[in-house]
Amino acid sequence: MAEACLIGSLLVMIIIGLIALYIRHHVIRMILLTFICAFGIRGLTLLYVWNQYPQMASLCGMSILFYLGHMGHLLCIEGYQLAKTTKGNRFSKLIEAINVMSNGRHVGTKREIGGLIRQHVHCRELVLRFYPLRLDKPTRDYHRRNIRLAFIVNRIMIAAAIWMIYSGGKMLMMKSHLIGFTHIRPADFDSSKQPFLRRLSDVTAREVIIRSGLVLYHNWNTWALCTFIHNIFAALNIMLRLNAPHDWTYLFGNISEAYTVRRYWSRFWHRLSYRHHVDYAHRLGESLFRFRPSCILYGIWIKLFVFGLSGITHAVVVANMGYQCGYMEEIWWYLLNFYAIVAEQVIGWLVGELIIIKSLNTMIKKTLGFIWVFLFMFWSLPKLYYSKMTLSCVPL
C-alpha cells in the first residue's frame, strides 16, 4: 500500500507540473506549485518502503528534490510558459513540456551549462558494420536515421558494459578473501577510524586499502548507476523519436579534467541541479546581502549556497530513507568541498605567480592536482560514509 502511495504521489506531482507549464496566471501557478511540493514531500516521507534497495531509494529521493527545485525555478524565477497550443501541435507541446521539466542543465538553450560532452557523429561507422549501405544515393532521411541508430547502439552498448563491469565487481568483492583480503567488517567503519591525520601513527595498511576503495566506490558507484539509467532513457527517447541525438549529452564530463576539487565538480560531475541552485543563490544574494557579480564575496556566496543546499538535499533524503544518523555528515562533507575550493583559489593567488610554479610542466601540474583530489577524498569520504555503515544507524 505504501509503495503504491509513493508511486501515485510521484505521478500526480509530474502531472500537476505539466499542467502548471500550460497555465499563464501567476497566482494559479503558485497554487499548483504548492500542490507539487505537497506531493513531493509526501513521496519523500515514503522512501523507507524501498529500504531493501537503498540506491534506488536514494536516486528516487534526489530526483524528487531535483524536480521540486527545477519546477520552482521554472515557475517562479524564469516564468517559463509554453506557447499556445492548437489542434495540430498539442502532442509536440506535450513533448516540449516534458523536455523542459527534465532539462535541468538547459541543454540546447542559451543557458546551457558549459563543458557538456556530446556524442561524436563518427560513431555511425560502427552501425554501418551491422547496417550496411544499400542505396546508390543515400537520402537525407537515411543519414538522419543512421545517426539515430548509431546513437541508440552507442548508448545501449555503454549501459551493457556498465552492467557487466558492475556485476563483475560485486563478484570480485564476494571473492576478496581469495586475494588475501578478508571480508569487510562493521569494525572497519568504527567512528574512531574517521580521523586520519590525528592518528597517523596508528593507521594500518587495511585502513588505507579500505579508504582507497571508498574513493573508488563513491565515484564509480554514482557514475555507473546514474550513467546506466541516463543512457537507457536516452536510447528510449531517441527510439521513440521524442528528441534528437544532440539533445542528449553525456551525463558526466571527462574525468581527466578533474585535477582540482573545483574542476571535479565543474568539469566532471553531472551538475543536474547547478543552474537552479545558482539562480536561487543569485536572487538571495542580491536581495538579502546586496551582492553584485563583480564583488569577490559574490563568488564565495554562490559556492557556499550551492554546496550547502546540495548537502541539505542529500541529508533530507538520508533522513527519509530511515537512517538513524548521518544527516549532518552529508551537510558537513559538502561544506568541506566548499572549503577545499576556496583554499585552492587562495593558494592559487598566493603561489600562482611564483617562478617555480610557472616553470612546471602542464602534465606535472595535472598529476599533482589529481594526487591532491584523491588525497582530499581519501581523507574526507570516511566522514561521510562511516557513520552510516554502523549497525545502529542502518534502517531496519
From its phi and psi, is residue 139 left (phi > 0), alpha (psi between -120 and 50) or beta?
beta
For residue 180, pLDDT beyond 60:
no
Is the pLDDT confidence value at 119 over 70? no
Q: What is the mean pLDDT of residues 10-22?
A: 92
- Ranges 10-14, 175-179, 188-192: which has the least confidence: 175-179
Closest CA to 112 of 235, 275, 289: 275
Do 56 and 30 lie in a common domain? yes
Is 238 in the same domain as 321? no
- Same structural domain for residues 236 and 260? no
Residue 48 placed within a domain: yes
Residues 225 and 152 both lie in one domain: yes
Instruction: Report which residue type is found at 132.
Output: P
Per-residue model confidence (pLDDT) at position 251: 92
In Å, what is the CA distance from 146 to each residue of 127, 130, 157, 244?
A: 8, 11, 16, 12
pLDDT of residue 308: 95
pLDDT, mean of residues 162-186: 69
Mean pLDDT of the chain: 84
My answer on whether 228 and 366 are in the same domain is no
276 and 230 in a single domain? The answer is no
Q: Provide the pLDDT for residue 176.
A: 54
How much is the pLDDT for 354?
59
Q: What is the mean pLDDT of residues 297-321?
A: 93
Grid cell digits, residue 33: 506549485
Q: Does residue 145 sit in the same domain as residue 186?
A: yes
Residue 239 lies in a domain: yes
Would you say residue 136 has pLDDT above 50? no
User: Which residues are within 8 A (CB) of 62 and not within 5 positions of it... i.e. 6 or more apart?
Assistant: 313, 314, 317
User: How far apart, in whole angstroms, are the C-alpha atoms of residue 13 and residue 41?
Assistant: 10
- List of residues 6+ apart from 266 with CB closer than 8 A: 115
230-249 mean pLDDT: 88
Q: Is the pLDDT of residue 177 over 60?
A: no
Please give the pLDDT value at position 159: 93
Q: 269 and 392 share a domain?
A: yes
Helix residue ranges per DSSP H, 113-239: 124-128, 140-174, 205-239
| Alpha carbons 390 and 324: distance in angstroms, whole number | 10
Burial-class residue 64 by CB neighbours within 10 Å (0-12, 13-18, 19+). Answer: buried
Q: Mean of the pLDDT values across residues 176-194? A: 69
231 assigned to some structural domain: yes
- Secondary structure element (H or E) that encloses residue 44, with its range: helix 26-45
* Domain ranges, residue 227: 119-248
Q: Looking at the 3D structure of the chain, how many domains does it have? A: 3
Q: Could you give the C-alpha distances from 179 to 172, 173, 174, 207, in angstroms and in order?
A: 10, 10, 11, 17
Which residues lie closer than 8 Å to 78 by C-beta, 6 or more apart?
279
Structure confidence at residue 372 (pLDDT):
94
Among 63, 36, 31, 34, smallest CA distance to 47 is for 63
Name the more confident of 145 and 20. 20
State the Cα–Cα distance between residues 276 and 367, nearest whole angstrom.
33
Task: Please compute the mean of the pLDDT values over residues 374-393 and round it to a whole number.
Answer: 87
Structure confidence by residue, pLDDT tens digits, 19-53: 998 888 889 999 999 999 999 999 999 988 888 88
Residue 112 lies inside a defined structural domain of this protein: no
Whether residue 107 lies inside any domain: the answer is no
Residue 108 lies in a domain: no
- Tell me: pLDDT of 392 over 80: no
Q: What was the pLDDT predicted at 135? A: 42
Residue where a domain stops, chosen among 248, 274, 296:
248
Average pLDDT over residues 93-104: 85
Contact 97, 21 (CB under 8 A): yes
pLDDT over 70 percentage in the chain: 85
Average the pLDDT over 279-301 and give the result: 87
Residues 237 and 267 both lie in one domain: no
Tens-digit pLDDT profile for residues 159-169: 999 999 988 77
Rounded to two decimals, the pTM is 0.87
Which of 75-89, 178-192, 270-284 is predicted most confidently?
270-284
Distance of CA 368 to the CA centre of its chain: 26
Do residues 295 and 383 share a domain? yes
> Do residues 7 and 66 lie in contact, with contact meaning Cβ atoms separated by under 8 Å?
no
pLDDT above 50 (res 362): yes
Residue 142 has pLDDT above 70, yes or no: no
Is the predicted pLDDT of residue 178 greater than 50, yes or no?
no
**277 and 365 part of one domain:** yes
- Indicate the pLDDT class of residue 179, thresholds 50, 70 and 90: very low
Query: Final residue of a domain: which of 197, 221, 248?
Result: 248
Final residue belonging to a domain, choices 70, 102, 134: 102
The average pLDDT across 171-192 equals 67
